Structure 1
Amino acid sequence: MDGYVILYASTIVMTVFLVYFSYLDLKYREIPDRDIYIFISASLILFSLLFAYSIIVTKRNIYLELTYLSLSLLIGPLISYILYKIDLFGLADVFAISGLSITFYNDLIYNMSLYSISTIHVPPIIPLLLYANLVMAAYIPFNIIRNLLVYKDVLPPKNIGILKWSIILSTGRPMKIKDFLMSKHIFPLQIFKISNNTVIVEYRTSFNIEEDYKEDQKHIKELIEKGYLHANDYIWVTYGVPFIVLLLAGYIVLLLIGDSLIQLIVHCIIH
C-alpha cells in the first residue's frame, strides 16, 4: 500500500471522528463509549499500517520511529491523563488526544501540510496541542474588551483579587439569571450562599469537569423563589468550550501549516 494512501485515509478518518465528536460534545456534552472504542480501534489500525509502511517499505530507521512514538505517547496520552486526574480534562479528551498521538506519531503527516519550512520536525501532537490552545487564547482579548465596554456596570468587584478578576473577564461573561436558567451547558462563576438571611457571593475561575449545570440552575431558582435573588439580576458565567472542539481547530491548523510556528520560534531563539 502506498504511504500517501495511508496518510490520506488517516487524515480523512481522523477529521470525520473529530467533527462528529465535536458535534456530540457541543450538543450533549457526552460521547458514547462505543464511539470511543471505534475511534481507538481505527487509530490502532492506521498506526499499524503506517508503522509497517515506514519500517518495511521505506526502510526508515526503527530507532527514529520508536523515538517519535515514545515522545508522542509521552506528550499526548500521559499529559492529558494527568490533566484528567485533576479534573481539567474529560475522559473523552484523553482518548481523542491518545488516538491522534498514535495515528500521527511520526513526521510523515507534514507531507500533507500546505506549508512547511523544515525537513526536521517534532512529533505532530506538539503543534496540534499548541494550536488548539492558541485558538482559545485568541478569543481572550476579544472577550475582555467586550466585557469592559458592554458590561462595565456589572463587572466583578476588584476586591476578589486582580488575578481572579482578570481570569473571569477573560473566560466569562455576564447574563441575566432568567436567561441562565433557560440555557444549556453554561456554568456560573458566582456561587451564592445564604448566611444569617444574607446572600454571600463567592467568585470562582472555573468549574468541575463533572459538574451538572442543572444542579446550579436548581439552586439559583430556589434562591429566587425565596426572594434572595431576582430573575433580572446578572450572573457571571462561562460556557466551557469542549476541548475536543479546540482539538479539531488545532488539527486543521496542523494540516495547513504543519509545525512551522514551532520552527519559527526555534529559529528566533537560536538566532
Structure 2
Amino acid sequence: MNEGSLDDAEHHFFSKEAYLTVSSQLHLEAVAYAHSRVYTLSPSFRAERSQTSRHLAEFWILEAEWAFTQRVEDLCDIVEDAIKYTVRSTVVQESEEDGELAARVERIFALGYAWTRMSYTDAVELLRIAHAKEQSRFAFEPEWGKGLQSEHEKWLAEEAGGPVFVTDYPSALKPFYMRTNSDGETVACFDLLVPGIGELVGGSLREERLHMLDQAMEKIGLLGRDEYKWYRELRKFGGAPHGGFGLGFERMVSAVTGEPNVRECIAMPRWAGRMLL
C-alpha cells in the first residue's frame, strides 16, 4: 500500500467508501424497466446485531421485480402461487416415504386454502383485543404506528391457521421507496407471515412518482445525495409503475424442514460476532 491516509480516494477500491448491500432491489428496478420481469438470488448482509434464531449477518434472498403492476393484491397473488407451487412440487410430491413431513408442510402452508389477507390496521386491532383479553399476552404491547414484533407475527399466523399477508403499513415503518397510499399515512406494501417463522416475504409497489419519492427521501435526509441520483433519474427520464418482493431463502428452508434456527439452514452461517473465513 502506498503511503498516505486511508481516507484518500486512491486507497479506496471504488475510489470512495463502499458498503455491503442488504438488497439488490434498487438495481433490479432499473433492469425491470428494460426486461419487465427480473429476479436474482444472491447473498445480502444485515447491519443490525440481531442475535435471534431468525437472523443471520449474511443471508440469501430471492428478489423479484416487475414493471406495470399497480396493485398490492397482484404482488400477493404472485407470492402465494409461487410458494404453493414450490412446496407442492419439491416437498409434497417428493415425500412419499415421509408422510409426516408432507402433512406438516401441507398444514403450515395451508396448501388447500386461500391465504388470509388483512391490513396492518386490522392486524394491530386483533392484537390489541387479544392482549386485553388474555391479561397482557404479549411482552410488547401492540400499538398502531409501531412495528410488529416476532411474537405478534407468529400469533397472527397461528390465529389465521396458515400464512397471512399483512398490508399497508405506516410509512414511518417502511423504506422510502415504497409507494405512498392515498391516505398519506400508509404505503402499498405487504409482509407474509408464516406459522413458526414470522416474516418470510416482504414486498411493495415502488414509488414511481418523482415528487412523492423526493418527499420521502427528504424526510430521511437522502434527497440531494449523489449516490441516489441515478435512482431518481429512473423516474425523471421515464419509467413505469412497478413492484416486487424479497424472500429469505434460509427462512424458507426453516419453514419447510421444521428446523427452528436459520443458522442450521445454511452451510457456513455468519452472525454478529462470528465469521468463518
**TM-score, with length taken from structure 2:** 0.28
Which is greater in Rg? 1
The structure richer in helix per residue is: 1
Would you tell me which structure has more strand in proportion to its own residues? 2
> TM-score by structure 1 length?
0.29
